[in-house]
């Protein structure tokens, strides 16, 4: 293959570059130069890499991995704390609700007790008033009844005297009382 290319090159070039073979890769006289400078270049690159570049990049990558791990741990910690705070908040809320319910119940009981006392007092007052009124009514009724018998005695006496009979006042009264007693 190489020979064909050389031939072609020479044919095409028409002797423009007469010196040397067609394919510079096969020019052995240039080998020492290339090999020497190649070894120098590789040595320089190896020196730079092993001395400066690779340890530095390795350190940076390790540091970054460390930072990321730390950050993830810190985030995990923060999340844990947030969850704790949330639990505490929920607990406080529940406590407050319980407390509120307790206060409501207590107040309700207090009010109920006060109410009962007041009710009792009022009932007693009402009862007292009722009794008083009853007594007044009874008095009035007694008075009325007494008036009625008096009136009846008077009327009966008058009637008896009107008939011309000398009525014994005491007998008339007794008779009236007896009749009234029957009625009553």
Partner 1 sequence: MATETVAVVDGHVEEAGGLVFHPFDQFEIKPLFGEIGDPVSWYTISNATFWMALAALCVVLLLVIGTRGRAVIPTRVQSAAELVYGFVYKMVEDVTGKEGLKYFPWIMTLFLFILFSNYLGLLPLAFTPTSHIAVTAVLALGVFISVTVIGFMKNGMAFLGLFWMKEAPLFLRPVIAIIEVISYFVRPVSHSIRLAGNLVAGHAMIKVFAGFAAIAAISPLSVVAITAIYGLEVLVAGIQAYVFTILTCIYLKDALHPSH
User: Which stretches of the chain bind partner 1, using CB under 8 A?
Assistant: 1, 4-5, 7-9, 11-14, 16-17, 19-20, 22-27, 29-42, 44-46, 48-50, 52-54, 56-61, 63-64, 67
CA angle 105, 109, 112 (to 5 degrees): 140
Q: How far is the CB of 74 from partner 1 (least distance, A)?
A: 15
Residue 57 vs 100, nearer CB to partner 1: 57
Q: Which is nearer to partner 1, 35 or 169 (CB)?
A: 35
Residue 75 CB, shortest distance to partner 1, in Å, is: 16
* Nearest to partner 1 of 42, 124 (CB atom): 42
Shorter beta-carbon distance to partner 1: residue 44 or 117: 44
């Amino acid at each position: 293959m190489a020979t064909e290319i050389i031939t072609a090159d020479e044919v095409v070039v028409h002797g423009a570059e007469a010196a040397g073979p067609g394919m510079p890769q096969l020019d052995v006289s240039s080998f020492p130069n290339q090999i020497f400078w190649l070894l120098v270049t590789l040595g320089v690159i190896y020196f730079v890499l092993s001395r400066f570049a690779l340890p530095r990049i390795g350190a940076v990558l390790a540091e970054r991995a460390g930072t990321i791990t730390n950050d993830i741990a810190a985030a995990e910690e923060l999340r844990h704390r947030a969850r704790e705070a949330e639990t505490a908040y929920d607990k406080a809320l529940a406590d407050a609700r319980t407390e509120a319910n307790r206060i409501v119940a207590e107040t309700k009981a207090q009010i109920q007790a006060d109410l009962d006392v007041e009710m009792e007092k009022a009932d007693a007052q009402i009862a007292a008033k009722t009794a008083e009124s009853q007594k007044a009514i009874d008095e009035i009724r007694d008075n009325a009844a007494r008036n009625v018998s008096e009136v009846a005695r008077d009327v009966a006496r008058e009637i008896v005297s009107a008939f011309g009979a000398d009525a014994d006042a005491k007998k008339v009264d007794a008779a009236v009382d007896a009749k009234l007693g029957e009625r009553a």
